[in-house]
Amino acid sequence: MIAFFKITLFNPLYNLLLVLTNILPGGDLGLAIIILTILVKVIIFPLYTKSIKTQIKIKAVEAQLQEIKEKYKNNVQEQSKKTMELYREEKINPFSTFLVLLIQIPIIISLFYVFKSSFTINQEIIYSFVPIPKIINHNFLGLIDLTLNNNYLLSIITGLTQFLQVKFSLPKIDKGKQLGKSFKEDLARSMDLQMRYVMPVITIFIAFTLPSALALYWITSNIFSSIYELTVIKKLKKSSAKG
Domain boundaries of the chain, sorted by first residue: 2-149+210-242
* 199-225 residue pLDDT tens: 999 999 999 999 999 999 999 999 998
Inter-residue contact 230 to 238 (CB < 8 Å) = no
- Per the CB < 8 A criterion, the answer to whether 123 and 225 are in contact is no
| b/e per residue 48-65 (b: at least 16 CB within 10 A) | beebbbbbbbbeebeeeb
pTM for the structure as a whole? 0.82
d(CA 15, CA 32): 11
pLDDT digits (tens, 9 = 90+) for 130-189: 998 888 999 998 889 999 998 999 999 999 999 998 888 876 665 555 455 565 666 667
Give the per-residue pLDDT at 184: 61
Among 226, 240, 227, smallest CA distance to 52 is for: 240
* Weakest-pLDDT range from 56-70, 117-131, 149-163: 56-70
